[in-house]
Structure 1
Amino acid sequence: MLADTRILLIVSGSVSAFKVPELIRLLRKAGAAVTPVLTAGGAHFVTPHVLQAVAGEAVHQDLWSLTTEAEIGHIRLARLPDLVVVAPASANMLARMAHGMADDLAATLLLATDKPVLVAPAMNWAMWAHPATRANMATLTARGVHVIGPNDGAMAEAETGPGRLAEPAEIFAAIAALLEAGRAAAHRPLAGRHVLVTSGPTHEPIDPVRYIANRSSGKQGHAIAAALAALGARVTLVSGPVSVPDPAGVQVVKVESAREMLAACEAALPADAAICAAAVADWRTAHAAGQKMKKVPGQPPAPLELALNPDILATLSAHAARPRLVVGFAAETENVVANAIAKRQRKGCDWIVANDVSGDVMGGTENTVHLVTDTGVEDWPRMPKQDVAARLAARLAEALA
């Protein structure tokens, strides 16, 4: 369960320190490595020999050790673990943490670490209820320190109340949950980000039964939305008419025309990034007929007057609420890279994903793309559209990190 994880376990001065060897046993049984740090107060209740025996590692006690501090040992110890646990955390330890003290090895480690910290308070009920302790706890939790316990129960002083150290199994469960949450977060680098994606074609009506459109299945845009959601992003997918299913975990806004797509995109702002993968029709009929236009034998076709559709990519690139990263697509049949470079400059976007659509790309399952940025052009090999989406989502996560 906890294989390949390392816990820095700080033991401070509380009679409940006698429970710590059992906690270490549970952690090691689950595969974790445990590095014990013992305060002067903690050493009154559990010996370094016991901790070393159950942990299988040296116990660290002295900030001024010439052996370890020759290598800046306290900094190395502070950065080494996946999680720092203070169990038991005495009232004195919590106070020193809250006030940023660095007067012994344990306090210095807690000040120097950049890793998550879990405390398991243990003290007399009156000390736990004291306004100073409550204020210290409020300070620590506001800084992101995690807390397990204390429990309500019998104490060493023949009194009963809240302040009893959580049981080793409870502390172990809290440790496992924190480490699992950390692993999940590492695989969700876009958590907390909002990304806008457009996909599919637009249909520009000529009359109630006919329309102008670009060829697009929506497979690439929908795959991009799914890949972004898999990395933790909140995704708004503005989709033209497609037959592919909606991606799971994605907010889908369905539109028909380019003007509807632009309105939906602007309504979705603000966003951290926008990926315009839709094949938006460049033109629409200037005046769509309200009734079906009839073919009259012997007469020429009715003339179509065309008007330019709004440029969604250029509009988002220049928008007052412009996303931090704007990505466009360029579907080309010739001079693919050169046209994409020119399009990026003309539209004012950050990246262009260019592809040659002269073959079976439209409606197919694979794609060969070139990523055009301000630093150059990346030529990606032919791959399934889902893999293109995953690679693009990973690049976007890097850019927004």
Structure 2
Amino acid sequence: MTLQGKKIVLGISGGIAAYKTPDLVRKLVAQGAQVRVILNQSGGHFVSELSLQAVSGFPVSTDLLDPSAEAAMGHIELAKWADILLIAPATANTMAKLAHGIADDLLTTVYLATSATVCIAPAMNQQMWKAKPTQHNLRLLRSYETHILGPADGAQACGDIGPGRMLEPEKIVECLSSILNKPQPLRGKRLLITAGPTRESLDPVRFLSNHSSGKMGFAIAEQARSLGAEVTLIAGPVALPTPAGVTRINVESAGQMLETVMAKVNSQDIFIATAAVADYRAENVADNKIKKNADELTLTFVKNPDILKTVAGLPKPPFCVGFAAESQDVEAYAKRKLADKKLDMIAANDITVAGLGFNSDANALQVFWPEGHCDLPAQPKTELALALLNVVIERYQEKNDTLSL
């Protein structure tokens, strides 16, 4: 893999990791890339313009309105020139500006003005990385098709240990090469994905639901789209941005999800059911709010239709992948669901493991199919989604090769 002939604008913001950027530029140039550098005011405290100019072979840009640029519109020149906009290091402050479209310096203005592939390498204190606003901004950036490189985990300049270190220059170069040369094995395939919880009304005020955040399903949708698939995402009530390029349909109840799935499924190649669909619903939904009149309240529930089993039971079903969130005997329950529902694959996770699963940004999966299984270790859900899709692609291709014999 090579960066030969690629035009890269490297934006440097004000983190201690900026001292590594001359080496990063040198490695990019060694791969055949042309590199032009934007150094913001804070970044200039950690690395010099002269050193960056020496390794890149181009003057370093610092000013939004540069008198030496054509018509003093340097941000437009750089934005149009770039094949790739790489921001490394990307501080929490810079990420926040990018996520919310704030263009108050040359770097953030080029970001808004470019149609180039955008990659950022975060670098910050581990607690700043974990902070809810940063994680919210990260989700927004991913929804804009921004490639997030890292961060790495380890010792930090402040003495803390944890996630937030900028990836090393050689790793960043490797990531860029992978992105630019990424195969699209799902090109021409249609994927239908369900995600999040469902809500089953009890009255106009109350409902039954569960703790599913939808993060796993949304991560799968995002990664499937990046692998070339045409993705339709049927989402229960979750507060997540729609992945770029994905068609999203919002639903509330299990009945609505089933109806929407059945309206779409016949044209799909692969169906991945990550949604935590309610097993039961109230037999009768009260027209008015149920009043607190007694110490006990008895409600009658009826079973909801099994969406995944319904799809797998079609005369010509798509390749069906189920999910099982279990608190005990994970493998036994997963294998039983695999057989009972006649699925092609099932991905199971243990919900009792702290820090993984519901409402977490990480998970681990045990994946089963009729002829075997594999384990996908704990990792961020975005990376886990890609690992799972690689297994799905392999099994899907093997099944279709068998059917064509």
TM-score normalised per structure 2: 0.52
Describe the SS at the equivalent of 2:390. Answer: helix
Does 2:331 align with 1:337? yes
Once the two structures are aligned, what percentage of the paired residues are identical? Answer: 41
Contact 1:185 1:191 in 2 (8 A): no
Instruction: Describe the shift of the 1:2–1:354 C-alpha distance in structure 2 as closer, same or farther (beyond 3 A).
Output: closer
State the AA in 2 paired with 1:283. Y
Instruction: Report how far residue 341 of structure 1 moved.
Output: 0.7
Structure 1 gap segments, 5+ residues each: 5-30, 32-182
Residue deviations 1:308-340 (CA, integer Å, cap 9, x gap) = 0010110110013410x1000000000111110
How far apart in 2 are the matches of 1:222 and 1:2?
A: 30
Does 2:319 align with 1:318? no
Report what 1:174 is aligned to: none
Report what 1:288 is aligned to: 285
State the AA in 1 paired with 2:269. D
Describe the SS at the equivalent of 2:377. Answer: coil
Does 2:366 align with 1:377? no
Instruction: Describe the shift of the 1:374–1:279 C-alpha distance in structure 2 as closer, same or farther (beyond 3 A).
Output: same
Report what 2:270 is aligned to: 273
Residue deviations 1:339-360 (CA, integer Å, cap 9, x gap) = 1011100111110100001234
Contact 1:367 1:382 in 2 (8 A): yes
Residue deviations 1:224-243 (CA, integer Å, cap 9, x gap) = 01010010100110110001
Residue deviations 1:112-156 (CA, integer Å, cap 9, x gap) = xxxxxxxxxxxxxxxxxxxxxxxxxxxxxxxxxxxxxxxxxxxxx
How far apart in 1 are the matches of 2:3 and 2:295?
A: 77
Residue deviations 1:84-112 (CA, integer Å, cap 9, x gap) = xxxxxxxxxxxxxxxxxxxxxxxxxxxxx
Q: Provide runs of 4+ in structure 1 moved above 4 Å.
A: 1-4, 183-186
Describe the SS at the equivalent of 1:244. Answer: coil
Instruction: Describe the shift of the 1:185–1:253 C-alpha distance in structure 2 as closer, same or farther (beyond 3 A).
Output: farther
How far apart in 2 are the matches of 1:185 and 1:319?
A: 38
216-225 or 358-367, which moves further after superposition?
A: 358-367
Report what 2:303 is aligned to: 308
Instruction: Describe the shift of the 1:185–1:273 C-alpha distance in structure 2 as closer, same or farther (beyond 3 A).
Output: farther
Instruction: Report how far residue 395 of structure 1 moved.
Output: 2.2
Structure 2 counterpart of 1:230, from 220, 226, 231: 226
Report what 2:321 is aligned to: 327
Residue deviations 1:238-272 (CA, integer Å, cap 9, x gap) = 11000121111101010000010011111112210
How far apart in 2 are the matches of 1:400 and 1:2?
A: 32
RMSD: 2.2
Describe the SS at the equivalent of 2:202. Answer: strand
Report what 1:217 is aligned to: 213
Contact 1:201 1:281 in 2 (8 A): yes
TM-score normalised per structure 1: 0.53
State the AA in 2 paired with 1:274. F
Structure 2 gap segments, 5+ residues each: 6-31, 33-178, 398-405
How far apart in 1 are the matches of 2:184 and 2:258?
A: 29
How far apart in 2 are the matches of 1:376 and 1:2?
A: 39
How many pairs align?
222
**How do residues 13-52 of structure 1 correspond to structure 2 at under 5 angstroms?**
none
Describe the SS at the equivalent of 1:381. Answer: strand
Report what 1:26 is aligned to: none
Residue deviations 1:273-317 (CA, integer Å, cap 9, x gap) = 000000001000010111111112xx2333210000010110110
